[in-house]
Amino acid sequence: MSLMNDKIQELEARRSKVSLGGGEKAIEKQKAMGKLTARERIEALLDEGSFYEFDMFVKHDGREFGMLDKELASDGVVVGTGKINGQPVAIFAQDFTVVGGSLGLAHAREITKVMDFAMKMKMPLIGINDSGGARIQEGVNALAGYGEIFLRNTQASGVIPQISVILGPCAGGAVYSPALTDFVFVVDGVSKMFITGPDVIKTVLGEEIGQEELGGARVHAEITGNAHFFAESESECFLQIRKLISMIPPSNTEPAEVIPTQLPEAKYDMASIVPADPTIPYDVRDVVKAIVDESDFLEVMELFAANIVVGFGRVGGQTVGFVCNQPLVLAGVLDCDSSDKAARFIRFCDAFNIPIVTLEDLPGYLPGVDQEHMGVIRHGAKMLYAYSEASVPKITVILRKAYGGGYIAMNSRHLGADFVYAWPTAEIAVMGAEGAANIVFRKEILAAEDPEAMRKQKIAEYKEKFANPYVAAGKGYVDTVIKPSETREYVLMSLAASLKKEEPTPKKKHGIPPF
Ligand code: HXC
């Protein structure tokens, strides 16, 4: 056998040893938890055969607590590059079979290297997290590793899309790095996220709590808002990621792929979706589906703050971000969580040059002590800031109610909307006619012989005067009043008209959003 063959055989042996991660027993344990291995996950997510691994032979730096004698395959993380729908991506996947996927310094350096690669090559970064966080045995070196990742997450923010997938019990840095990224994916029964795990809670507080209850997938998709996409299985999660990648740009210097225009499905008939009576709810996602190509809408944070709907769709082949009040939930009011959700989405769209379409139908902000004490002023201000700051094309369609602060906040002309359209059913006023009549005409109503008849008369007067789109259109705050059936056409025209939009912004290092 030639020397070359010997060398090749040695390489193959090394490759297959590393590919076994923490070994067969550890893999069995991983499978018993219903999880794929790190390499299987990458294979399942990327285009078939497209993955090329880097840093397979990296050695760990641990010295203490018996670590010196341990061989840790690739120091517990698989990194490299591959493709999704033919588009290059950079990827890392932590390997729980190797010391619980914990992060030592060499492990961290593999991640920061692939992050730097993604930034240089301007491709999305996907991180599959399955890790107990900083490797306890490595002490401050492990903490240093996470710090270097956080720094890069922040520097990459707004330059390349960063996607985090939580596929195991993730603690400490393994959740803080994802929290700095743009989209977090979780899988029911598999994903757990916490800063301090159940063991620490038991030690410090003496309280027993299960991983699922503390930070399972549903907790983060529905309650905390840490997760943006929820799936029932790893394979469903990978399909969601592939879909998202197809919709968003690979970096802030390139657009998302433009695909040939398709019509929305005929079953989404705009004229019949929204009841003219402003008290009757409907699903605003049906309105979105009547606008977007093929009625294909990718909703983001579907289970969190459902009173606002955000997500991506294509109009005329071009990716657009939608921000919509949802009359089905809490009548579509704005509150702390929905403001946070919308603000963050708007900033993503703005950073990646994705035009924003706002569909408006809301009675205003949610009143109450709870909201005030949770800081609705501070949270609501985030959304005002995000819309005002965004320089991408901004299109608003007022479907029905646009009352009070809600009218201003939902991308009004006054916050810099480029196009504002209203349906004939739009009511643009400081508040609803009933509330307004009760306050403004209280004395006349009380003094009347028949107060109820007087109340009705005053409500009708107020409606006649203000509960329509024509007062705002008369002042140019609304550009024109359109038929519901004309909505897609007007959105298409607005997008085409704003292809070269430029908006001067004052010179500054950066603003100070009300985080
Ligand atoms: C070293 C770790 C580890 C860690 C897990 N392991 N986490 N080893 N450092 N951080 C090891 C375990 O010892 C075990 O090894 C194997 O991984 C599997 O872990 P189990 O505990 O058996 O699994 P499970 O019961 O599913 O629990 C998973 C877990 C738990 C919830 C993640 O292991 C845990 O609480 N780990 C510690 C979490 C933590 O506090 N990390 C530090 C965070 S500080 P064996 O050999 O027994 O199989 C941090 C700094 C950044 O990350 C902070 C940001 C601001």
Instruction: Summarize pLDDT for 363-406 with one digit per residue, the tens.
Output: 999 999 999 999 999 999 999 999 999 999 999 999 999 999 99
What pLDDT does residue 505 have?
87
Ligand 1-lining residues (CB < 6 angstroms):
99-100, 102, 132-137, 143, 146, 169, 171-173, 176, 197, 199-200
What average pLDDT does this structure show over 443-471? 90
Which atom of ligand 1 is closest in space to residue 192's alpha carbon? 31
Residue identifier of the C-alpha nearest atom 17 of ligand 1: 100
pLDDT tens string 226-278:
999 999 999 999 999 999 999 999 999 999 999 999 999 999 999 899 999 99
Which residue among 27, 30, 99 is best mutated to probe the pocket of ligand 1, counting the most ligand atoms within 8 A of its Cβ? 99
Residue 199 CA to ligand 1 centre (angstroms): 10
pLDDT tens string 202-233:
999 999 999 999 999 999 999 999 999 999 99
Asked whether the beta carbons of 288 and 326 are under 8 A apart, the reply is: no
Residue identifier of the C-alpha nearest atom 45 of ligand 1: 99
> Cα dihedral sign for 398, 403, 409, 415?
positive
Q: pTM to 2 decimals?
A: 0.95
d(CA 423, CA 397): 7
> Cα dihedral sign for 504, 509, 514, 515?
positive
Two domains, one topology: 2-247 and 270-432+468-497: yes
Q: What CATH class does 2-247 carry?
A: alpha beta
Asked whether the beta carbons of 46 and 91 are under 8 A apart, the reply is: yes
Distances (CA, A) of 324 to 80, 320, 349, 408: 38, 13, 14, 14
Fold of 270-432+468-497: 2-enoyl-CoA Hydratase; Chain A, domain 1 (3.90.226)
What pLDDT does residue 1 have?
65
d(CA 398, CA 407): 9
Which atom of ligand 1 is closest in space to residue 197's alpha carbon? 35
What pLDDT does residue 54 have?
97
What pLDDT does residue 266 have?
93
Q: Give the number of other CB atoms < 10 A from CB of residue 242.
A: 15
Domain residues of the chain, as ranges? 2-247, 270-432+468-497, 433-466
Position 435 confidence tier, pLDDT thresholds 50, 70, 90: confident
User: Could you tell me what percent of the chain has a pLDDT over 70?
Assistant: 100
What pLDDT does residue 471 have?
94
Q: What angle do CA 272, 277, 280 make, to 5 degrees?
A: 80
Average pLDDT of the chain to the nearest whole number = 95
Residue 131 CA to ligand 1 centre (angstroms): 7
